[in-house]
Structure 1
Amino acid sequence: MEVSVIIPIYNAEKTIEETIHSIKSNYEHEIICINDGSKDKSADIISKIDNPNIVLVNRENKGAAATRNEGISIAKGKYIMFCDADDKLGDGIIDKMVDAIKENNTDIVVGKVLHLIGEEVRPIKTYNELSAIEHTSLNRTPEITQSIGPYGKLYKNEIIRDIRFDEDITFCEEHTFNLKAWSNSKITIIDDQAYLYNIGIEDSIVATSYKHIEKYLNDATEVRKRT
């Protein structure tokens, strides 16, 4: 197995089918859909999708961080990607990233993340600071922290096998994960559009963080202490 794509799923019946359809590769891959106690028809929709690469896991609700951690534990691929249930992968990005990590003999590949608002795709200005480079590291390219989320990246399984997301943090739970992953890794940055981050729906992470701004800021402060 070359690639494992891990998707935490919670009440994503409106978006999950499009998300799964965006995950394509010529490499052998699995799409690990972990249904985190959804109360809607997410699991039924996934079970009816005709795609032999789907692995559906149903369990009680534990949150996105714990769900991603479980995905890491069961992933069979040499490489791991993360995708949320309302977002999409860029066209052909899995193959481009696998090719890049093999050609450059690196540990992690970082691509461009863009905002998706309805059908409109908008660039994220902070990504303008990230230029394509075949070989780099966190020390050499600290501006890589502008891409602090787990999205738009391909990780060698062996690099993150013993790293986990902070399960006691609701927001920013991915920050310590990525900094640990990057700290001793060889990194490739590519210019390709890797990930479309949906901020145009009411239940998106961005919208939710605005609704719970005090909790978001408290979590962000705690994460800064840890990192």
Structure 2
Amino acid sequence: MTRISVILPVFNEEKFIKKAIESVLSQSLDDFELIIVNDGSTDDTLSIINGFDDSRIKIINQKNQGPGASRNNALEMAKGDYVMFLDGDDWYCPDALKTAYGEITSKDTDISIFQIIKYNDGEYSKNSWFNLNNFSEKFEDRVFNPHECGDFLFNISVSAAQKIFRREFLVKIKARFPEGMYFEDMPFFFYTFLKAERVSIIKRYLYVRQKHDGSITESVDAKFLDTVPAGQILMEIFTKNGWYDMYMFDLLAFKVNGPRYALMGIEDKYKEELFTLIKDDYEEIKSGKYYDDYMENLGPVKRKFMLDVLNAGDYEEFMTLNQTKSSPA
């Protein structure tokens, strides 16, 4: 049995894909399969992939379906005891697989989370999100239940690439990424993390995330329209699995804040479209069973945002309403 299945979805990554693949093939742990999903690339990505001659590489060549479907297709093919994810513009540190495998097997966890370091134009940098700073010393060198993280659950990095998963666990809980949208990591993380019984963290940098103009989170463009459906899926996950009451206060704030921040930063040409998506979502919430929870638990800024969206006919009217100050909490 293969120890680790590394899943690498790629779309038009000709500038970076060679380094990503080489970082896997040169790992100190060599018992792995590398499943590369070419998601309908139109540049030279596929020819670069085909230039590698290594029996550990498996290639799925498909029409463009997006990152969620690409990862799901690879998961169905995966044979490893454990699963790790890599993005086509990033790379692993040399001992990443060995260290992650050693952690998850020695502690018998469902998920183990490691540190990511960022890279930008020759310089490395750290941030609290990828540095696991929210995990205090009491979480180090031991196994814990995810519900122990309740007071900072929504401040944990959702990146699938920052974790190693026991594949049997993913199969058992029928874990899948949402398809047809970006920000697919977010619902996947909360579902898998809260379904896990045993989790651990690794305070070592195993993964390098490259910042560049094409990175999903570096430019607030049309991809951020998907913050709305991603939030809707998240709510469904929490309500269906009995986690809603446990995490209601932070969950509702988290759901409102994603699209709220996106609306502030998104390119002007997408603001009306995003506003309409948010308004439709809020109209549905208003007619449902959880509306009173929003009104009673949101802070004054988020509550005013929600009410202004509901009361406005379009984005321009919303901006006029939202510019007035909210009353104190």
In the alignment, the residues of structure 2 paired with residue 72 and residue 214 of structure 1 have an alpha-carbon distance, to the nearest angstrom, of 26
2:59 corresponds in structure 1 to 56
1:190 maps to 202
User: 8 Å contact 1:130–1:144 — kept in the other structure?
Assistant: no
Partner of 1:11: 12
Distance 1:179 1:90 in 2: 26
Q: Specify the code of the residue in structure 1 equivalent to 2:104.
A: I
Which secondary structure state, in structure 1, belongs to the residue aligned with residue 71 of structure 2? Answer: helix
- Residues 221 and 183 of structure 1: is their aligned pair in 2 closer, same or farther, counting only changes over 3 Å? closer
Q: 1:29 to 1:144 in 2, by over 3 A?
A: farther
The equivalent position to 2:167 in structure 1, one of 157, 160, 176, is: 157
State the 1:144 CA deviation.
5.5
SS of the residue aligned with 2:89? Answer: coil
| Structure 2 Cα separation of the partners of residues 134 and 27 of structure 1 | 27
Show the counterpart of 2:135: 130
**Alpha-carbon shift at residue 3 of structure 1 (Å):** 0.4
In structure 2, which of residues 26, 29, 37 is the aligned counterpart of residue 26 of structure 1? 29
Q: Quote how far apart the aligned CAs of 1:178 are.
A: 1.6
State how far apart, in whole Å, the 2-side matches of 1:8 and 1:165 are: 13
What is the aligned counterpart of 1:167 among 179, 183, 187? 179
* C-alpha contact (below 8 Å) 1:37/1:58 kept by paired residues: yes
Answer 1 or 2: which has greater strand percent. 1
Please say if residues 153 and 194 of structure 1, whose CA atoms lie closer than 8 Å, have aligned partners that are also in contact.
no
Q: Matched residues in 1 for 2:15 and 2:224: separation?
A: 28
Give 1:223 deviation, angstroms.
4.3
Distance 2:224 2:104 in 1: 39
Look up the SS of the partner of 2:143 in the other structure.
Answer: strand
Instruction: Give 3-state SS (helix, strand or coil) of 2:218's partner.
Output: helix
Distance change (3 Å), C-alpha of 1:69 and 1:79: same
Structure 2 distance, partners of 1:94, 1:177, is 21
- DSSP 3-state at the match of 1:129: coil
User: TM-score, normalization: structure 2?
Assistant: 0.64
> Which structure has more RCO (C-alpha within 8 Å, separation ≥ 6)?
1
**Which residue in 1 is equivalent to 2:302?**
none
- Post-superposition, which runs of at least 4 consecutive aligned residues in structure 1 deviate over 6 A? none
1:70 maps to which of 69, 73, 85 = 73
Classify 1:224/1:183 alpha carbon distance in 2 versus 1 (closer, same or farther; 3 Å). Answer: closer
Asked if residue 46 in structure 1 is aligned to residue 49 in structure 2, the reply is yes
Aligned length: 224
- The CA deviation at 1:214 is 5.1
The answer to whether the 8 Å contact 1:101/1:108 transfers is yes
| Contact 1:172/1:223 (<8 A) preserved | no
Q: Which amino acid aligns with 1:154?
A: I
The structure with more radius of gyration: 2
Deviation larger for 34-43 or 122-131: 122-131
The correspondence for 2:221, drawn from 203, 211, 214, is 211
Report what 1:102 is aligned to.
Answer: 105
Between stretches 49-58 and 214-223, larger displacement belongs to: 214-223
Which deviates more, 216-225 or 38-47? 216-225
Letter in 2 for 1:37: G
1:224: Cα distance to partner?
4.2
